Structure 1
């Protein structure tokens, strides 16, 4: 990428994230952390929540509506997702929504005066692209796709470069007519700490876990995971007696309270409940298996840690796409709806050969240092026609 200021001065990069799911924020934080590593061109990064700054009055309504639709009517969400996956151009309603935030986004750009804008949130990428198309903004736009899929919502005419998680996504973008010069396979950005090698026995001792008993980490994204399936694990004597469960509830205090009440009736010293965990990379290092929904960031962190996954109830749409990619890669299996989750979990945990095979597949599938590779993809390239200021 050819920065507008050249290499003699520091470059200002605005990273726009969003609050519809924790993955967009985590990817933005990973990019910001990676920008401070190494001796590459000096970069000052600022991470901003697009929804909070551009739609302060609407953000809570939009987030509530999105989460409720996913929770209560996932089939409708899935229908809308697939219906719009290959849409060309903006719908009138979506275009109106973006235009409502135009002035606030221009104020944000004027405040930070960025030399480039990176978006880990599709609505932010669409809004920046619209301003560029209208001639109101003249900086490179880089879109980081945080799922293993190519939904049209991520794709916008004024995007200069797409950073994608796999060659499969890159091929899908090229099939849509996007030039190879505008696509780079960097991996989905995860914090550099997820690539650190850690001794499992030592980490388990430091976290207060028994070193010689299997550890299953349960995650459901930033909002936490609670369902009859998870309750069934807590009610299973075979599960609670035969392994250590670490359940991450995220920032959802209601989930934490409900699980605490569940455990009050079935006390077990082998079940740990966590809220939002900054050291989740250490819990992944300690675990034998991750039970999770297939969000792009959580699963990418697990792949970086070569942690086998059991995928549970993917949301129709991008989570189903993610699950398909991960299963084809051999790094995950998906829980079958017709079988008890406890049976499938016990089957995997007590099959060390299969878990070892999945770890090996994860090591082959993962892309080393994805957040740092993202910055490397943005460095000046020798061919002038690939300059970000000229790419279209």
Structure 2
């Protein structure tokens, strides 16, 4: 777990604490979590980062990570088979959720009382946090940043308030899952890679689209959405007004922020 680090606001009181849950499986989940934490700290939030696998007994942590590495190295086809199985049946996801049940209390203890929101970048974390949220044992929003190009069933769990995904991620068809709010946002790319390369800029100029604005659905910073949700959704999390606002924002994260502000202010 990373130590909590407050953002720099010139000595002013920070706007709250956000807990980010990832996993040291591969590098994609942790990389997204690190960039998200940096952006939230820049906005003044205190950010706690947790490795989901650290909550497991040490032998289970080691076995899980090594099994994952072994599958990718020696049996890559089985990785696809596992995801295919989860897509065809909810049973595997239900089994996973049941296996994680003994860890719920430890997860809940890792979330300080002053937390304003919990953000995940790893799908199995949703299967742990979603039930806590749905049962009322976790009263702050649970928001997930999907690191895959598919909002896969392993990401989906009742109790998760909002799923942030990047274009062109595939999303569940209407009616496939209840209460699934998907908002399209920008990728969580580090500052070191965010600046447009000169060659790419030159290519756009040659095509005549140098001044073209990015797609509205890709124009929102996920850290901004999360910060606003944490600051304005209230201690009970994202309520029905905010859910309707998210649904009416047509995927534009900037519009989502404005809608959340308006919906929250309207209920006060």
TM bucket normalised to smaller: 0.5 to 0.7
Q: 1:20 aligns with which of 20, 25, 37?
A: 25
CA distance change for structure 1 residues 109 and 377 in 2, over 3 Å: closer, same or farther?
Answer: closer
Aligned: 1:103 with 2:105:
yes
RMSD: 3.7
**Cross-structure match for 1:375:** 226
How far the C-alpha of 1:380 sits from its partner, in A, is 4.0
**Cross-structure match for 2:250:** none
CA distance change for structure 1 residues 36 and 184 in 2, over 3 Å: closer, same or farther?
Answer: same
**Cross-structure match for 2:135:** 134
CA distance change for structure 1 residues 91 and 194 in 2, over 3 Å: closer, same or farther?
Answer: closer
**Cross-structure match for 1:172:** 172
Separation of aligned partners in 2, 1:27 and 1:47? 12
Mark the runs of 5 or more structure 2 residues left unpaired by the alignment: 1-12, 247-268
How far the C-alpha of 1:140 sits from its partner, in A, is 1.0
Separation of aligned partners in 2, 1:127 and 1:160? 14
Separation of aligned partners in 2, 1:155 and 1:92? 11
Greater Cα radius of gyration, structure 1 or 2? 1
Aligned: 1:158 with 2:135:
no
How far the C-alpha of 1:9 sits from its partner, in A, is 6.4
Contact 2:23 2:51 in 1 (8 A): yes
2:42 aligned counterpart, secondary structure: coil
How far the C-alpha of 1:45 sits from its partner, in A, is 1.5
Q: 1:386 aligns with which of 241, 254, 259?
A: 241
Query: When the two structures are aligned, how many residues end up with a matched partner?
Result: 222
**Cross-structure match for 1:149:** 150
CA distance change for structure 1 residues 384 and 175 in 2, over 3 Å: closer, same or farther?
Answer: closer
How far the C-alpha of 1:50 sits from its partner, in A, is 1.3
2:19 aligned counterpart, secondary structure: strand
Q: 2:39 aligns with which of 15, 29, 34?
A: 34
CA distance change for structure 1 residues 375 and 193 in 2, over 3 Å: closer, same or farther?
Answer: farther
**Cross-structure match for 1:217:** none
2:187 aligned counterpart, secondary structure: coil
**Cross-structure match for 1:117:** 118
Aligned: 1:193 with 2:192:
yes
How far the C-alpha of 1:190 sits from its partner, in A, is 1.8
CA distance change for structure 1 residues 384 and 115 in 2, over 3 Å: closer, same or farther?
Answer: closer
Cα deviation 1:197-239 (Å, max 9, x = unaligned): 46x6xxxxxxxxxxxxxxxxxxxxxxxxxxxxxxxxxxxxxxx
Separation of aligned partners in 2, 1:143 and 1:9? 23
Separation of aligned partners in 1, 2:191 and 2:222? 7
How far the C-alpha of 1:84 sits from its partner, in A, is 0.7
TM-score (norm 2): 0.68
Cα deviation 1:321-344 (Å, max 9, x = unaligned): xxxxxxxxxxxxxxxxxxxxxxxx
CA distance change for structure 1 residues 168 and 103 in 2, over 3 Å: closer, same or farther?
Answer: closer
1:153 aligned counterpart, secondary structure: coil
Mark the runs of 5 or more structure 1 residues left unpaired by the alignment: 1-7, 201-287, 289-305, 308-352
Separation of aligned partners in 2, 1:95 and 1:128? 10
Cα deviation 1:280-322 (Å, max 9, x = unaligned): xxxxxxxx8xxxxxxxxxxxxxxxxx69xxxxxxxxxxxxxxx
CA distance change for structure 1 residues 166 and 375 in 2, over 3 Å: closer, same or farther?
Answer: same
How far the C-alpha of 1:66 sits from its partner, in A, is 1.3
- Pairing 1:301-320 to 2, within 5 Å after superposition: none
Cα deviation 1:81-113 (Å, max 9, x = unaligned): 111124336656423320131222122124x64
How far the C-alpha of 1:31 sits from its partner, in A, is 0.7
1:48 aligned counterpart, secondary structure: strand
**Cross-structure match for 2:66:** 64
1:14 aligned counterpart, secondary structure: strand
1:118 aligned counterpart, secondary structure: strand
Separation of aligned partners in 2, 1:51 and 1:369? 30
**Cross-structure match for 1:281:** none
Separation of aligned partners in 1, 2:102 and 2:60? 11
